[in-house]
A = this chain, B = another copy of it.
Amino acid sequence: MPKIADKYLQVDPWKVVEEGFDAGRNRVSESIFSLGNEYMGVRGYVEEGYGGDTLLGSYFNGLYEESPVTAHYKGIIQSLRFMVNAVDWLHTRITLDGETLDLAKSQFSGFRRELDFRTGIYTREFVWHTASGKDVQLTFERLISMKVSYLGAQRITFMPLNFSGTVQVRTGLNLAVMHEDQQRCYWKQRKQGEATTADGTGIAGILGETVNTGNRLFSGFRVEAQNAVNIGLVQEDNFIGRDLTLELQQEKRSRLDKLVINVAEKDPATRNEDLWQRGIELAEQHTKAGYDAAAADQRAYWAQVWAESDIAIDGDPENQQGIRFCIFQLYQTYHGDNPGFNIGAKGLTGEAYRGLAFWDTESYCLPFYIFNNPKAARSLLEFRYQSLPEALKRAKELDCEGAFYPIATIDGTESCDLWQHSNLQLHVGTAVAYGLRHYVNITGDKVFLYEKGAEMLVQISRFYATRGQWGQQSGKYGYFGVMGPDEFQLMVNNNCYLNLMAKKLFEYTLEVLGTMRDEASEAYGEMVERLGLTEEEQKDWRNKAQHMKIPKDERSGIFEEHDGFFDLPHLDIHAIPVTEFPLYSHWSYDRLYRYDMIKQPDVLMFMFLYSSEYSLEEKRANYDYYEPRCIHESSLSPSIHSILAAEIGRAEEAYKFFEFATRLDLDNYNRNTREGLHTTSIAAAWMNIVYGFGGMRSDGERLILNPSIPERWKSYRFMVTYQGVKLLVEVDQSEATIRGMSGGEVEISVYGNLVTIGEAGIRVPLRKAVVQ
């Protein structure tokens, strides 16, 4: 795997720490120091203005703009929707003796920034040496409240080291922000001004609207400043702020706190006046408790998260830090408090991938939530239910029936402008069905299944029953002209993964319809009626599932990724010079697609998803065939390989792939963390530990735990919630203990034995990994 760590940050079990400022790495740090609360997010950019390389990014989940696509043909999307860069609510300018602070130009020392996973607060500090000879210690803190989704808070502390005197500060809300990728500002100001609150302090607010989509955003702030001698209002186009003069005393700290309320509004029916009024009221309500109260709430929230979802590793400080960073960022990106949200490939941390959600949500992120926060998992599935009308429409555009879920979306519509992906990658629908089944099996939530899940299954099945075709020679059913998960095979027939997942989809849909008829007959009848579901149709699905083509070489037991894969010209991927990575940038586009080189697991992916159906021998044969052909150009890839390597007894290889997963962004393995975090990939890091070393399998009838431990670890522990029972799993080099933390008992399989786990738990000697 041609991935090399770029070691730079300090290692700490609970923090990310950067000592000293590296302008060349600034964008990388901005991504890593991102804050978010699923409602909104900001990159760790320098709020006082920076003349160097920076991506000033502030995003709101689901707030989008669009640009037209020159579509040549029917079925190719006409408009591209993307998460739009929004208000810079941290905007600050600091001037001393006529010099405005700018780390690209000013003299400074002692630079340090840190992000604390236990508090959710990002702190940055340094000493500014002005040209006039003054030294000021500056500390910037910020948080985005996990308790109040609208609330962001910022604190700047000034301490003059060698003088007393004044400093000028401008702080405000800036809507004149560029969307870098499109090189334009998408915001039009609709209103701005000041509202005096009941307690006499003023809220300065601004209301903007996106130019093409009419999405709106209210932003209002209150300032609390120590030693301010003068405060004035500044109003410019797309900007509102306050100018303050602070009287600083030598070696005394002066604080300037700014509390901001941001309210995103997508409903066009809401009047600007009403949104404004609501924003002002929310600002009155949530800003007056001040910065310290917000920080205290934040600490309390994160304490709870770590109590419920921490993974502790003893003996591996780097991966300890890495996995906590992953969990921290996952919670920041999504925790299911707000309905209608999804998880963009880069969360709320950059413009790359346009804020769009892919199949990553169901395939890589969902397991974390299913086992840590089932409410959030359900909410993710709700997103697909809410966007069912869009998926029905999209299927029609592609001359099919049922629901075709988009490969990339921000609001349920397809937003990938590469037709070869948006029209040929069909595997989101099967991922949704798999995720639903997974969620229901682990949580037992049949209410959701029958209320909404079954309807999705029917519509998804309809799509797969109309998009597929019968091979003339094989007499088998399958999908022609598709791209599977492996994006290095652009347009193929009978992708093994897709065919298998479609077969499973049909079978699960039929199974659910069967149990629903018995267990919820009224709802079943109503649904059958509403959807016009016929017996004929179900027969058709059964027939197609039964005759689905699953390409496989029976002699070797190796599945063929698609028709003709085995004849593809061979490439020794290890002979590719490291300078040619990423291949997308260095190879002619068409050249990527004509080797037996694969980008990410495809056959191995379904062998993981349906782990219980394949023997160790089958897994080994397929791993041995596909792993050497896999270039891991997708950051999602190594974790799946690590999990399978662990299972088939390749402990060293499993650990090697794992290292990449937890520290993908911290060590900038893919050299593109500058664009944003690999949010969905870091979800895979959690799976890597729990499924890989923990040996968990959750696709069968009962939860399986077959714990192992990497040689270099002393011990580790993690928690999973199964059938409502929270299980704590602790593993050291000699034994594993599993116990229930929250009352109740549950039956699971440990090393092949059925055991009932309650509060007392069990303790078993660690079984050594199967040797190769």
Contact = CB atoms under 8 A, between A and B. Distances in A.
Q: Size range of the interface on A?
A: 35 or more
A587 B74 contact: yes
Interface stretch (A99-107, A292-300, A566-574, A657-665): A566-574
A569 B470 contact: yes
B585 A74 contact: yes
B569 A471 contact: yes
Contacts of A594: 469, 480-481, 493
B493 A567 contact: yes
Interface stretch (A114-122, A195-203, A416-424, A690-698): A416-424
Contact of A74 (B75, B586, B595): B586
B424 A590 contact: yes
Contacts of A472: 566-570, 596
Contacts of A399: 587-588, 591
Nearest to A426: B590
Given A473-B567, A480-B594, A563-B567, A75 B589 contact: yes
A568 B480 contact: yes
4 closest Cβ contacts across the A-B interface? A75-B588, A469-B569, A480-B594, A73-B589
A513 interface: no
A474 interface: yes
A490 B491 contact: yes
Contacts of A593: 481, 491
Contact of A589 (B74, B474, B591): B74
Contacts of A490: 481, 491
15 contacts: A73-B584, A74-B585, A74-B586, A74-B589, A75-B587, A75-B590, A76-B589, A419-B590, A472-B566, A481-B490, A481-B590, A481-B593, A491-B491, A493-B568, A493-B594
A100 B72 CA distance: 39
A593 B594 CA distance: 18
Contacts of A470: 569
A398 interface: yes
Contacts of A75: 587-591
Given A493-B564, A569-B471, A423 B589 contact: yes
Majority secondary structure of chain A interface residues (helix, strand, loop or mixed): loop
Interface of A: 72-76, 397-399, 418-420, 423-424, 469-474, 480-481, 490-491, 493, 563-564, 566-570, 584-591, 593-596
B72 A419 contact: no
Given A491-B491, A491-B593, A493-B564, 11 more contacts: A74-B587, A397-B588, A398-B591, A423-B589, A424-B590, A471-B568, A472-B568, A480-B568, A480-B569, A481-B490, A493-B594
A493 B590 CA distance: 13
A555 to B, nearest CB: 13
A242 to B, nearest CB: 41
A92 to B, nearest CB: 36
Contacts of A588: 73-75, 397-399, 423
A489 B398 CA distance: 18
Nearest to A76: B589
Nearest to A593: B481
Contacts of A596: 472
A732 B511 CA distance: 74
A587 B398 CA distance: 8
Contacts of A480: 568-569, 594
Contacts of A473: 566-567
Contacts of A418: 72
Nearest to A422: B590
A374 to B, nearest CB: 37
Contacts of A564: 493, 563-564
Contacts of A424: 590
A160 to B, nearest CB: 51
Nearest to A570: B472
Contacts of A73: 584, 588-589
